[in-house]
Structure 1
Amino acid sequence: MPFIRATFRTTRRSPFGSTTLRAIMLTAAAIVATVGTISPVLAQPAWKPDRPVTIVVPYVPGGGTDASARATAKLLGEQWGQPVLVVNLPGADGLIGTRKVTEAKPDGYTLLLQTPAIVLTKHAPSFTGTDPLTALVPVTNIAQSPGVIVANGKFPATSLPELIAYCKAATTPCSMGTGENVAKLFGQQLKAEVLPNLIVVNYKGTAAIITDMIANNVNFAVTGVASALPHQKAGTLKIVANQGTHRFAGAPEVRTVVETGLPQYEYTTWFGLFAPKGTPPAVTQAIYAAVREAMGNAELQKAITSAGAEPLVNTPDEFAAQVRKEDARFTALAKRYPLN
């Protein structure tokens, strides 16, 4: 122990007795020996997959959820040196794909990419009492994106207040298309609070809503930015309102619901990774760390922003707190405005 010997040689007289000094040196030696014993354990590498990993997207291909999943999977695969496969398993408002993950082995090889719609599963009439969140653990966010209110390209409104005013004055009731449960909840809220004559039409997917809005068979809808932007650029659809807290780069001219005095209709969706309950914390931490590293890649950032979203990575604990907050908010709304 050269460091300890050198230290005590520089002292002319120890304030301790020789027995005490000997004890201190022996204790120090024991500490050094112990550290030397445990340091290889502490230095063990983080979990890393040694076979393909699957990310289940419980929605149809082509949306913002799917685009974010594929861009993330590509870079995780490069980082891990293992294929990361994206599998779309749509159906039952996302429950089919979600259940696939809840039933998987909790070892980090099967992950789920979900949105806030997952917190409303237990409030849907068809799934009362079914709460997939109890069988999952949050891992991390990868992106967030505002909800948008979209209408036919010739619709006269350019903000949510204008849309409400138009529908109130219209001789024929306005119709709203809804896809996932969050949009259905928003439709029920809008109908109960300001548009009692609103006709809410439930669809099985965003593609059918887009088709009907272009054909003017339904007046407006809530969709993701990724689905709306190409049609806005083509002029066939119009983004009437941004439900986020701030304007987004893809359509900076569109005002937010907060700006127009209707913050109660704010909705920002997140795209988050979940793992089956029972997945070791060391595994979820390693996945989070890999996503965080991947998010520094300009290619991934571009893919996410092109889908109308913003990169967002948080720790498993931070993401869990975010999910709990969203759960509380949507549970309160679902009690006031039950889903059909």
Structure 2
Amino acid sequence: MSVRILHLLLCAMALLGCTAGARADTYPGKPIRIIVPLAAGGPTDVLARTIAQHLTEKWGQPVVVENRPGANTNIGTAAVAKSPADGYTLLLTVNNLTINPSLYQDIPFDSLKDFAPVSLFATSPLVLVVNPGVPARSVQELIALAKAQPGKLHFGSPGNGSPPHLAGEMFNTLAGVKMAHVPYSTITSAVTDLMGGQIEVMFPGSPIALPQAKAGKLRALATTGAKRTAAAPELPTVAEAGLPNFEVSLWYGLLAPANTPAAIVRKLHAEVARIVALPAVIQQWAVLGAEPVSTTPEEFAAYLKQDIAKWQKVVRDSGAKMD
């Protein structure tokens, strides 16, 4: 290679580096879309709009939330996976990203390879609740009842493949019981039937479960996270109450398409970390049962990998299916 050609190559590489740096330095230069692959109005949507509002205020560019529900979050997730890797289309999603690879034989994206993780930014436990007519006031009493009446207890969920569904399947496997799963089209209809006695057990999110438990319409036995929740510190975790390997938390995370420039990912991460530390955000999200957290992109990537392996085992051990 001649000296002249080498010089031209070095100049070209330097120019590309400067251009990439300039793109990151001037980001964002136009509106940003945050795609939420769930319907509007739920906790995920509320969290997304909080982050969008604060990003808009900080950057002076519109950050809009676009709800694209369908196919158990696969439709909205696939849309982001196929978007340009420029930081202007982002994915704000939940556990389905790590659950769905074990439940679907063919999904139009790879949950690890097609995304650049930005940050895990909130977690929230589920709550193990029973109809007040069920003669069980603890996790151990529920296990004993389920063992004495195999197949007679029914647990509801907002659909096959949802975190409440797989939480119930994990409970079955670890406790050595067989409660029958009853899928519903919405969490509201499932909880309505639980309060009415058509089903006996559920694992809904804390914003839904705890008010009904305090009103006496449900009985809360435990929460499902790794530690007790500040929203109901009197409740033990399921692990504390007798199933030491049981832990299910709803998580909320922000991702960009794969190959998004690292500088843009870092800029997004820094802003998300700032937002979730704001006292007003912490207070607002506490009402939803969501605890703000902050991880580096690398930590979030490792978390996703571990979560996929976790749900693969739950699906394999339980035989859970989408139909």
Please tell me the TM-score bracket, short chain as reference.
0.7 to 0.9
Q: Which letter maps to 1:73?
A: A
Corresponding position: 1:116 with 2:84: no
Alignment of 1:284-323 (within 5 A): 284-323=265-304
**Aligned residue for 1:279?**
260
Q: 2:231 aligns with which of 250, 254, 258?
A: 250
Q: Which letter maps to 1:97?
A: G
Separation of aligned partners in 2, 1:51 and 1:64: 27
**Aligned residue for 2:82?**
103
Contact 1:242–1:255 (8 Å) recurs in 2: yes
Contact 1:52–1:85 (8 Å) recurs in 2: yes
Higher alpha-carbon Rg: 1
Assess, with a 3 A threshold, how the Cα gap between structure 1 residues 201 and 303 changes in structure 2: closer, same or farther.
same
Query: TM-score normalized by structure 2?
Result: 0.83
Separation of aligned partners in 2, 1:238 and 1:126: 37
**Aligned residue for 1:211?**
192
Q: 1:144 aligns with which of 112, 123, 128?
A: 123
**Aligned residue for 1:27?**
none
Separation of aligned partners in 1, 2:174 and 2:267: 45
Assess, with a 3 A threshold, how the Cα gap between structure 1 residues 337 and 79 changes in structure 2: closer, same or farther.
same
Kindly state the Cα deviation for residue 189 of structure 1 after the two structures are TM-superposed. Answer: 3.4
Kindly state the Cα deviation for residue 215 of structure 1 after the two structures are TM-superposed. Answer: 1.9
Contact 2:84–2:257 (8 Å) recurs in 1: yes
**Aligned residue for 2:47?**
68
Cα displacement string for residues 242-270 of structure 1 (whole angstroms, at most 9, x for unaligned residues): 11121112111111112112122211222
5+ unaligned residues in a row in structure 1: which ranges? 1-40
Q: 2:145 aligns with which of 158, 162, 166?
A: 166
Separation of aligned partners in 2, 1:222 and 1:315: 30
Separation of aligned partners in 1, 2:62 and 2:21: 28
**Aligned residue for 2:29?**
50
Corresponding position: 1:191 with 2:172: yes
Assess, with a 3 A threshold, how the Cα gap between structure 1 residues 152 and 67 changes in structure 2: closer, same or farther.
farther
Separation of aligned partners in 2, 1:333 and 1:170: 23
Assess, with a 3 A threshold, how the Cα gap between structure 1 residues 283 and 214 changes in structure 2: closer, same or farther.
same
The sequence identity of aligned pairs, in percent, is 35
Q: 1:338 aligns with which of 313, 319, 323?
A: 319
**Aligned residue for 1:12?**
none
Q: Which letter maps to 1:59?
A: L
Contact 2:146–2:177 (8 Å) recurs in 1: no
Kindly state the Cα deviation for residue 65 of structure 1 after the two structures are TM-superposed. Answer: 1.9
Aligned to 1:235, the other structure's residue is in SS state coil
Query: How many positions carry a matched residue from both structures?
Result: 302
Aligned to 1:263, the other structure's residue is in SS state coil
CA RMSD of aligned residues (A): 2.7
Assess, with a 3 A threshold, how the Cα gap between structure 1 residues 74 and 128 changes in structure 2: closer, same or farther.
closer
Corresponding position: 1:264 with 2:245: yes
Aligned to 2:203, the other structure's residue is in SS state strand
Corresponding position: 1:220 with 2:206: no
